[in-house]
Each structure stands twice: as C-alpha cells, then as structure tokens.
Amino acid sequence: MSDLILVRHGETEWSLSGRHTSWTDLPLTANGEAQARALAPLLGEHKIAVALVSPMTRAQDTAKLAGLDNVCVDPDLHEWDYGAYEGITTREIHRTRPAWNLWTDGVAPGPEEHPGETPEEVGIRADRVIARIEAALGNSTGGDAVLVAHAHFLRVLTARRLGLPPADGALFQLATGTISRLSTEHDRPVVATWNEHPRG
C-alpha cells in the first residue's frame, strides 16, 4: 500500500488546555490556523491520491488551510467518544480516579447520544478506514492517502496499521498541527516519520 499521511488538526482552546474533545465542535485558535497553513509545504511534497477528513470543523478547517483539495468527509475519522469525560482534563478525572488511564480503563458512560467508546470500538472504526483506503488506492494511479483527524483516533489507527492492538496507540504521542507518515519496509508497515512540526 502507498504511504498514509496522518495530520492532526491544529490547536483549539480545549486542546491547549488539555480538555478531552470529541463531539464538541470547536474552531481552531489563531495559532491553530497558523499551524494548519504551515503544513501546506509538507503536504505539497506528496502526490495525493485520496484525502479523508473528520466531520469536525477543526479537522475540516485544517485540511482547507493546509491546501488539500477534493477532500472527502469520513464519519469514522471522528475522535474517540469520551462519554462523560467530554470537556474534562485528565487531571480532573484523577481527582476521583487517581489511577485512571484512557487506554486501559476507557471512559465513564455519557449521555445516550454519546455513550463513550472502548479502545476496541475505536479500533473497529480505524480498521474500516484502513480498508477503505486500501480499496481507494487499489483503484488509483498511484499516490499517498492523507487523513486529517484527531490525536487519539490517529494513534489507534497507527496501532492497527502496524498490527498492534488498539490500546497500543498509547505509545504514539501526537501534537496538534503535526504530520506523520506510515510507510512500508520489505512489505511490512512501519513508522517512517512521526509527530513532525513544519520547519520555519
């Protein structure tokens, strides 16, 4: 398969303060917009066959500012559903659950429309995205795939692409406004670059 280019959206007020953000549709900060624009030269180095983006505004605005054209919205690219932990920081959660870890403990149930997800449920979505990309690239004339989405989801997708369980996404820290590349070596998936900030 061609390379997977992973783009985490630019900074928002909640990413800056460490608040878990899934379905809350926040805009980019001015710095987040600048981060997104700075990605354009890096993305311009690739021949892009397919580009998919999360339905959230912060991801779609990042894709637009980074110069991506013909981007398709994929609902499976939305962030991990944090359930009752939406808008809450890890520090706040640790006040009542000192040993809590998203990757092993999951989230507390939220409202009916956002009950929360386990790592395995996020992994199922990631597997669907990978399958769709493989099919799309199989029908293209060459080029890479770009995914513009969210930190925890992209970390799970990376684990799944590498053949690891979803919870191993914990191994891949991912900052806002960064680009990463999953490639292959001897026909096996590998991390080629990770968490790269544009130079400038």
By annotation, the residues acting in catalysis are 9, 79
Task: Quote the CA–CA distance of 167 and 170 in Å, as a whole number.
Answer: 6
Nearest alpha-carbon partner for 152 in 166, 134, 136: 166
Nearest alpha-carbon partner for 28 in 45, 7, 42, 43: 7
For residue 128, what are its two tokens?
């669907």
Residue type, 200: G
Indicate the pairing of strand 179-185 with strand 4-8.
antiparallel
Terminal C-alpha separation, the chain: 31
Task: Quote the CA–CA distance of 177 and 179 in Å, as a whole number.
Answer: 7
Q: How far is CA 70 from CA 64, 110, 176, in A?
A: 10, 35, 23
The DSSP output letter for 186 is T
Cα dihedral: 159, 69, 23, 108 (round 10): 0
